Structure 1
Amino acid sequence: MKILVTGGAGFIGSHIAEELVSHKQDVRILDNFSAGKLKNIRHFEKKVELLEGNISDKATVDDAVKGCNYIFHQAAMVSVEESIKNPVKTWDINIKGTLLVLGAASRMGVKRVVLASSAAVYGDTLALPKREDGALNPKSPYGESKHINEMNAEKYLKDFKLQTVCLRYFNVYGPRQDPDSPYSGVISKFVSAALRKERPIIYGDGEQTRDFVFVKDVVKANLLAMSEKKAAGQVFNIGTGTETSINSLWKEIKKQTKSKLVPIHKAPREGDIRRSFASIVKAGKVLKYRPEYSLEEGLKYTIEWIKENSS
C-alpha cells in the first residue's frame, strides 16, 4: 500500500509521514519546501520517497499521485494574514492545488483522500461550540479556500465516487512548528519569546479564545479518517473541545518557562475570530477520536523541542 502525503515536510505533514513510516507503510512525500523543511524529515528521509515540486503544477501532482492508494493532503498556504495580503496566491495553492489532487486521485484509482480543512471555515459565527452542521462564515481568503475545498471534495465523491474525508483542524501546535516564521502559531511564538526573554505580543485584549490541539492527536485523527469506512464523505472537527483564552495560554507558558515577562498588547488583527472551540462529538462517534494530550502536557513537549532546536 502506497500513501502520498502532500506537504509532507511541513509541520503537520511530517508528523503524519513519520507515523506512517513507523507502521511500515510505503510513503511518498510531495513538498516544495516553501514552508516545509528537510530537517523535519531528516531522521526518516531514507525510508520515504521524496518528490520536490509545487502542488499547483498538474504534471507534478500527477507524478506524485500515480500508484498511490491513499492521500493525506496537507499542502497549503496556511496563514490567514498572508491570504488577506495575497488572495490570488492563496487560491492558486489551496484551491487549484486541491482540485489537481482530487482530479488525479479520481483518474488514478486512489481509494481515499483525507484533506486538511480548518476551523477558519466557521468564521465568527456565534454558536459555540463549533459544530460540523453549524453555519459557515469564513472571514478570510484562507477560510474561504478551505470551504471551497470541502465543497469540491463532496463533488468528487458524488460525481466520481472518490472517497474523501475533510478534517477541520482547530489550533494545532507542537514540535516542528517554526517559531521564526512570521505566520507561525501563537504557541510557538509565545514559547520562543519566553525563552529569548522577549516580551510576547498579544493582539487585542487577550480574551479571544481558541481550541489548541496537540499535533500527535491530529495525526491520530488523520489515520482514523483513512481507515474508518463510515468516514467517507464526511467532515469532522479535530480539536479538544476545550476553550482557552490567549491570556490563559500565556499564563501557562509563563509558568512552564519560569518567565516573568509582561505581554505587549497591540491592536486586533484583521480576520481574527473572537471565540472558537470545537464540538468533537461527531469525530468521537464516527472516528472513535479521543484527544490524549492536555494543553499542559502538549506544551511541555513543545517547549522541550523549541529549547533543543533554537538557533
Structure 2
Amino acid sequence: MANILITGGAGFIGSNLCDRFIAKGHKITCLDNFATGHRHNLAELLQHPDFTLMEGDIRDAETCQQACEGQDYVLHQAALGSVPRSVNDPVTSNAVNVGGFLNMLVAARDTNVKRFVYAASSSTYGDSESLPKVEDVIGKPLSPYAVTKYVNELYAEVFAKTYGIECIGLRYFNVFGRRQDPNGAYAAVIPKFVIQLLRHQSPTINGTGDYSRDFTYIDNVIQMNERAMLTDNPEAVNTVYNTAVGDRTTINDMARLLKEYLSAFDPKIKEVEILYGPVRAGDVPHSKASIDKAVQLLGYAPSHSFATGLKEAVNWYWDQLK
C-alpha cells in the first residue's frame, strides 16, 4: 500500500485514477481547486477511510508542499487543458500549467517523493508532420497550451538530472471516456457531440473533418499511469511516453460512429445533420502515436481500441444523461 497524491483528482482523468488506486488498496490524497473538476466525480470516495480531499490551488507553493508531505508518489493531472482556452487566455494557462507544475516539482523534491508521474500532451509534437509520432521527434508548438506542456517536460528533465527526482511524463493523446464533461465552452469534442446528438442538435466539425486523432480511452490512460508509477525498470524512468492506442480516426469517422452507437438508444439521432465550420487556430492536422516505447519499457498493452472505448463511453453517457 502506497500514499499517492493525485492533483486534479476531481477532474475527468484524475477522478478515474482516484477510483482505480483506492480499489487497489492505496491511500489517496486528492488536491483540486475545482476550477474544472467536479465534486460529484468524488461522491463515492468522500466517505472512504483511505481517501482525503484537499481543496487548494497548485499556484500556491505552500499548498503544494503540504499536499506532498508524506506521499510516496505524485500523479500530477492538474492543469488548464484546451488549446482554444490557451489561445484566449495564455497568461492563466501559463500560470497554472508552468508555474503550478514547477511548484509541484519543488514540493516533490523537498518532501522526498519517490516518483513524479505527470500528464504531458501530444500537443508537444506541434508542427511535426511525421507519423506515427515518436517520442524523440517533435516540432514547434502551435498553441500556448502546447508551449506549457513542453516546458513541463523540460523542467522534469532538469529536475531529474539536477535533484535526482524520478520523473515520467505521459503524453496523452485525445483522452475520452466516462466523466469527461460535455458542458462548457472548452468541452472536448466527443462528450460535446454526444450531448448535442442526444438533444437532436447538429454538431459542428471544425474544418472538413479529415483531421485525424489517436483517440485514447480512459482505461488505457489509467493503465499507463499505474505502469509508470510502479515500474522497477531503471531504464523506464526519467523519460516521456506516448499514451495512446497507436491508431488514428478522422473526425468524420468519429462522428459517424457516435451517431451509429447513439442511434441504438434513440433512432432519431440517425437523422441529425453534421455541420462544418472553420478550422480552429492551433489545431494539429493529424495525430497518431507510436506506442512501441511504452510497450517495450513499461509492458503497456492497450485494453481498448477506439471503437470499443467509444461504445463504453456512449453507454455511460446514455445512463447519465437520458
| Residue of structure 1 in register with 2:266 after alignment | none
Aligned equivalent of 1:297: 308
1:149 equivalent to 2:152? Answer yes
**Structure 2 partner of 1:26:** 27
Q: Cα deviation per residue 1:184-217 (whole Å; 9 max; x = unaligned)?
A: 2111111111111111110000000000010011
CA contact (8 A) 2:3 2:27 kept: yes
Paired with 1:287 and 1:166, the residues of 2 have a C-alpha distance of 13
Kept after mapping to 1: 8 A contact 2:206/2:278: yes
> Do the aligned residues in 1 keep the contact of 2:176 with 2:216 (CA within 8 Å)?
yes
Partner of 2:220: 217
What TM-score, normalized by structure 2, do the two folds share?
0.95
Match of 2:250 in 1: 245
Instruction: Verify: 1:78 aligned to 2:89, yes or no.
Output: no
- Residue pair 2:245, 2:306 contacting (<8 A) in 1 also: no
Matched, 1:204 2:202: no
Q: For residue 169 of structure 1, what is the aligned residue in structure 2? A: 172
Q: TM-score, normalised by structure 1?
A: 0.98
Aligned-residue offset at 1:70: 0.3
* Aligned equivalent of 1:288: 299
Q: Secondary structure at the match of 1:72?
A: strand
Among 267, 274, 288, the residue aligned to 1:277? 288
- 1:40 counterpart residue number: 41
Cα shift at 1:222:
0.3
| Residue identity opposite 1:209 in structure 2 | S
Deviation at residue 122 of structure 1 after TM alignment: 0.4
What is the Cα deviation at residue 136 of structure 1? 2.8
Segment of structure 1 superposing worse, 292-301 or 46-55 = 292-301
Deviation, 1:273, is 0.8
Q: Judge conservation of contact 2:33–2:56 (CA < 8 Å) in 1.
A: yes
2:126–2:138 Cα contact (<8 Å) kept: no
> Using the alignment, how far apart are the partners of 2:232 and 2:135 within structure 1?
19
1:110-146 deviation digits (Å, cap 9, x = unpaired)? 0000010000000121100110011232111111100
Alpha-carbon distance in structure 2 between the residues aligned to 1:116 and 1:171: 12
1:130 maps to 2:133:
yes
Write out per-residue CA displacement over residues 26-56 of structure 1, whole angstroms, 9 at most, x where no aligned residue: 1000000111111111112222100001111
| Equivalent runs, 1:87-126 vs 2, <5 Å | 87-126=90-129
Q: Is the 8 A contact 2:9 2:30 kept in 1?
A: yes
C-alpha deviation, 1:288, in angstroms: 0.8
Distance 2:139 2:68 in 1: 31
Amino acid at match of 1:273: V
Unaligned segments of structure 2, at least 5 residues: 264-268
Following the alignment from structure 1 to structure 2, what is the Cα–Cα distance between the partners of residues 290 and 267? 37
Preserved contact between residue 124 and residue 275 of structure 1 (Cα < 8 Å) = no
Deviations 1:197-245 (A, max 9, x none): 1111100000000000100110110000001133210110000011100
Question: How far apart, in 1, do the equivalents of 2:307 and 2:244 lie?
Answer: 15
Match of 2:12 in 1: 11
User: Percentage identity across aligned positions?
Assistant: 39
Query: How many Å separate the matches in 1 of 2:72 and 2:138?
Result: 33
Superposition CA RMSD, Å? 1.0
Distance in 2 separating the partners of 1:142 and 1:128: 21
Q: Which amino acid aligns with 2:132?
A: P
Q: Give the counterpart letter for 1:92 in structure 2.
A: A
Structure 1 segments, 4+ long, off by >6 Å, are: none
The residue type paired with residue 95 of structure 2 is D
Q: Contact 1:67 / 1:108 at 8 angstroms: preserved in 2?
A: yes
Structure 1 position 310, deviation (Å): 2.2
Distance 1:125 1:172 in 2: 20
CA–CA separation in structure 1 for the residues paired with 2:47 and 2:116: 25
